[in-house]
Each structure stands twice: as C-alpha cells, then as structure tokens.
Amino acid sequence: MTIDRLTTPALLLEESVFNRNRAAMTEILQDSTLKLRPHYKSHKCAAIAKMQIADGAAGMTCAKLSEAEDLADCGIEDILIANQITDPWKIRRGAQLAGDCRLTVCMDDPANIDAWEKAAGEAGTMVHCLVEYEIGMRRCGVGTTEEVLALAARLAACPHLIFDGIQAYAGHISHMEDPAERAGLTAENSIKLRLLLDRLMEAGLPARTLSGGSTGTAQLKAAEGLYTELQAGSYLFMDATYRTLDLPFGNALTVLSTVVSAKPGLVVVDAGVKSCGVDQGMPLPLGITAEEIVASEEHFQLHRPDRIPSVGEKIRLIPGHCCSTVNLYDKIYVVDGEKVVDRIAVTARGCCR
Ligand SMILES: Cc1ncc(COP(=O)(O)O)c(C=O)c1O
C-alpha cells in the first residue's frame, strides 16, 4: 500500500532514518560507560521499547505510573519513573508494580519517602529510589547538597527502599542551539555534580546511579563519563525543534496531511493542534515553504507559500515536538518513502496519569 491511500492526518515513521538514528545512538555510546535508558514518552510504543532493549538499553525511563504499567505489561524488566509520585493510590499501585519489575522512582521530599516506605512494606516489595537534584531547570528536585544528603540518608534507613543515586536532568540545556553554550553549561553542571557525588561518598552513601541527559546532550554526556544513564528520548524520531541543532540524528517522524484549500497566498492542510504537537513550535512542511504558519484545532494555515499545491495534494509535516505528537495517535505507519511497510501501536497513548 502507498501512503496516498492513508486517511489523513496520519503519523509516518521513515524506517531507514529511524534505523540510522538507532545506530547513531549506539555509536555515540559504544566507547562510553554511559548506558542508554531511553525515555518512553517520546514514542510510547511497546514494540519500540523492546527494540531499544535489544539494541542494548539498560532499561526504560518514563514520566508516569501508567507508562510504567504499560512497559511492565510488555515484559520490560527495569523501569525508571523520572518523576515524583505523590498520590496515595498511585504510591500503593507503584509499590505493587515493584513486584513485577525493577522499579525506580524519584524523590525530593521526606514525607513522600515515608509514604513509599509504608506502601512498599505493605506490598512486600523493594523500590529503588533516586534523589532528584535540581540542576538549573527549576522543575522538581532539591537544590542543595545538604538536602540531597538528608534525603539519601533517610532512604538508606528505609527497609523497603534502596538509595540508588541521583537524578539530575538539565532540560533547559537540551535545545540550546549554540554547541559551545550547551557544552559550557553541561560542564558547569558536571563540576557541581562531581562535588555532590564526593560528598555522598564521604557520608557513606555512594551513588551507584547518576541519571539524566537528553538527545541534545547525549554526545557531551558520553564524552565526560560522569553520568551512568542517559535518558534521551527524541533522538529516535526527532522533530523541527531539535532539527536546528547540530546532532547526528535525522527527522524520521512526519504527519501526513492533505491540502483542503489552496488560494493565492494561503494554503490550508487538514492537520492542526489535534494531530501535531505545537508546544515547542510550529511544524515544518516538506516540499513547500511558508513565511508564516498559523495553527488551529484541525488546520495549519500556510501563509505566503512559495508554491500553490492542488487541493488534495499530500504534504508531510515535521512536527514541532515529537513527544506531544505521538500522544495524539493510536498507530504509527512505518514507511519506506511512499510505501507503507508496517504499523506500530502506540500502546501508551494517553498514559498521562
Ligand atoms: C526527565 C527527562 N529525561 C529525559 C528527557 C528526554 O529528553 P529528549 O526527548 O530531549 O531526549 C526528558 C524530556 O522532556 C525529561 O523530562
């Protein structure tokens, strides 16, 4: 079947580029002590998680308990929820899930540690824990060495929790276009992290794991040899936002759309924010250039295009953000150019709880 037979909007994955991205990540990590623990949120497909494990990933990262359940359900044995879980019923469920896989969660609060210890005790499981260190993104985590030491000591004293180490995710650096700025800030953070790891060691609380990093910092993290796990997600599919960086990954993911209106100065396609994530920016249309793109629910308006296509023409759009786009589809068509060669289920679509 060819892609012109698909009902649009449809999500397409160019198989050759996808496979090159897998190989490029393997190459980045081959001489490094850094292990890949890829982020599930970027594709949400159990079948792709299995491929990543087969490619050598140490386990999977995910954002949500429901994503962790989906991963465990397909046999993934080592799962990190790179977030704090604070809702009482989710803690109970997470503690049970730790009986089905090696589950790691992030902590930044003493009362949350106590709640997990109680739930793991009741479930009769052991839960691995990372203390989250706030390294400049201003999201979760504690910002001082003293706070990290106190949380690590509290974890070490819990019979059902295991202090594994630190999560330090510097998401504010990932998309910096200037490679020197990205490298400089990564190096500054590494100085802070080395001091933190030394203090933990001196306190008798060695961190076996240092987890974080992204597509944009993968090469830097592999070269510096400080982190033990890389949580990169977008590298497999890529998007219009990451495209502007000098990275060894290509755009494998596109949204196939159809032109529904074409007038001088304005072309409209049948994909909009309900089929293409715009939280990091507008999509990049292929084969047509527009001076401005305006998004509405079911349309992208391409203003002042360099050509006027016919109504009905198919246009591929590189999404502004791959992760939020994938969550809008039940399936991804794997393609070789114009030919559909496979279909992958987005098993964790909507798993945002
Ligand atoms: C905690 C965490 N780790 C890793 C990533 C993966 O980043 P990327 O998709 O940029 O590789 C993200 C992305 O938001 C994240 O929030």
166-194 confidence digits (pLDDT tens): 999 999 999 999 999 999 999 999 999 99
Give residue 14 CA to ligand 1 midpoint distance, Å.
22
The SS3 of residue 68 is helix
In ligand 1, which atom is closest to the CA atom of 175?
A: 10
Q: What pLDDT score does 54 carry?
A: 97
In ligand 1, which atom is closest to the CA atom of 218?
A: 11
- Same domain for 145 and 214, yes or no, is yes
Residue with CA nearest ligand 1 atom 7: 214
Query: How far apart (Å, rounded) are the C-alpha atoms in residues 340 and 333?
Result: 7
In a domain, 350, yes or no: no
The pocket around ligand 1, CB under 6 angstroms, is made up of: 39, 42, 82, 169, 171, 174, 214-216, 231-234
Give residue 39 CA to ligand 1 midpoint distance, Å.
6
Give residue 87 CA to ligand 1 midpoint distance, Å.
23
Task: Please classify residue 268 by burial: count the beta carbons closer than 10 Å to its beta carbon, then call 0-12 exposed, 13-18 middle and 19+ buried.
Answer: buried
Show which of 177, 210, 239 is a domain's final residue. 239
* Token output for 8: 């649009």
Using 50, 70 and 90 to split pLDDT, how confident is the model at 12?
A: very high
- Same domain for 137 and 229, yes or no, is yes
Query: How far apart (Å, rounded) are the C-alpha atoms in residues 214 and 28?
Result: 13
* Domain region containing 273: 3-10+247-345
Q: Residues with Cβ < 8 Å from 7, sequence gap 6 or more?
A: none
Put simply, whether the predicted model's pTM sits higher than 0.95 gets the answer yes
Using 50, 70 and 90 to split pLDDT, how confident is the model at 238?
A: very high
Give the CATH number, domain containing residue 305.
Answer: 2.40.37.20
Give residue 170 CA to ligand 1 midpoint distance, Å.
9
Q: Cα angle vertex 335, ends 329, 336, to 5°? A: 165
Query: How far apart (Å, rounded) are the C-alpha atoms in residues 261 and 290?
Result: 15
- Same domain for 325 and 223, yes or no, is no
Q: Residues with Cβ < 8 Å from 40, sequence gap 6 or more?
A: 49, 60, 61, 62, 63, 67, 70, 71, 233, 348
- Same domain for 192 and 277, yes or no, is no
Query: How far apart (Å, rounded) are the C-alpha atoms in residues 20 and 317?
Result: 20
- Same domain for 228 and 282, yes or no, is no
Query: How far apart (Å, rounded) are the C-alpha atoms in residues 130 and 4?
Result: 48
Give residue 339 CA to ligand 1 midpoint distance, Å.
31
Give the CATH number, domain containing residue 76.
Answer: 3.20.20.10
In a domain, 352, yes or no: no
- What are the two backbone dihedrals, phi and then psi, of residue 25, each rounded to the nearest 5 degrees? -70, -40
Domain count, the chain: 2
